[in-house]
Amino acid sequence: MCRWLAYSGSSIMLEELLYKPAHSLIDQSLHARMGVETTNGDGFGVGWYPEDRHGLRGVVEPAVFRDTGPAWSDRNLHELAHCVRSPLFFAHIRASTGTAVQQTNCHPFRYGHWLWMHNGTIHGFTELKRDLALAVDPSLYPSIEGSTDSEMMFHLALTLGLREDVPGAVARMIGLVEATAERHGVPDSVQMTLAVSEGERLWAFRYSTEHHSRSLFFSGDVHSLRALHPENVALRQASDDTRVIVSEPIGNLPDAWNEVPESTYGVVEEGNDSMHALVPQRA
């Protein structure tokens, strides 16, 4: 499995979350505590929207940097994180579930101004892959560059209306995968936590067919945390709408984190955060 982090809020340097906190995401690439594996060294990636996210035609495309080596020893990632500032970014460290360790299999995945990253698996993916690939819109299929179940899930969600209705498309994608797995006699097919953004809002999902999903946490209300920890410089600098979503907590403030409930998705957007039940939808 993998570990990931998604950030939305006041513009910060990537290193503030990737490297500086206790048990940072980079530390988790060697010493994960809640994942299936302790080490996540099968590649990494970051995707970020620039400080000025809006161009003449709306939100500009995010930048993506991915590589196949372990995150803990990559000097280029360290340099980039020290120099890049962003108000919305994704970071992912990979532990392969069987597909090749190659750049096109590293997260996050990008399509236009959309970013997508995933922790988990489609069980029996090799058996289901052909049927799932045939369900992808033919106009989208050429955009699949790698061989992971994660990228297939992304393109299925795009096919099923992600650009118009993110929660609905993800629910329909889950329903499609589960129905396909049932036809092939594959149990407990979906295991996922995933993050999605189009540059304005951030969605995070936690779900598994067996209702025993991988861990996922979201940061608490910044205003309340400032009151609890007035000595914390990072909290004083963060805007009230800052939110961080992580596979496992970072930093040394245990009261800063709340677990995302089972079969739930949340959305972070300006002036409003909300959480909802996630129910698969069948065609």
Token look-up 């236009």 returns 112
Residues 6+ apart with CB under 8 A from 135: 156, 159, 176, 180
Q: Which one of the listed residues 2, 95, 136, 173 is annotated catalytic?
A: 2
Annotated catalytic residue 2 = yes
Token look-up 């914390």 returns 232
Q: Are 87 and 13 in contact (CB under 8 A)?
A: no
Comparing CA positions, the residue from 96, 101, 55 lying closest to residue 199 is 55
Residue positions counted in the chain: 283
Residues 6+ apart with CB under 8 A from 1: 35, 36, 37, 40, 95, 97, 119, 120, 121, 214
CA quadruple 120, 124, 128, 129: dihedral sign: positive
Residues 6+ apart with CB under 8 A from 176: 132, 135, 156, 160, 282, 283
The Cα–Cα gap between 126 and 217 comes to 30
Comparing CA positions, the residue from 69, 68, 73, 93 lying closest to residue 17 is 93
Active site members = 2
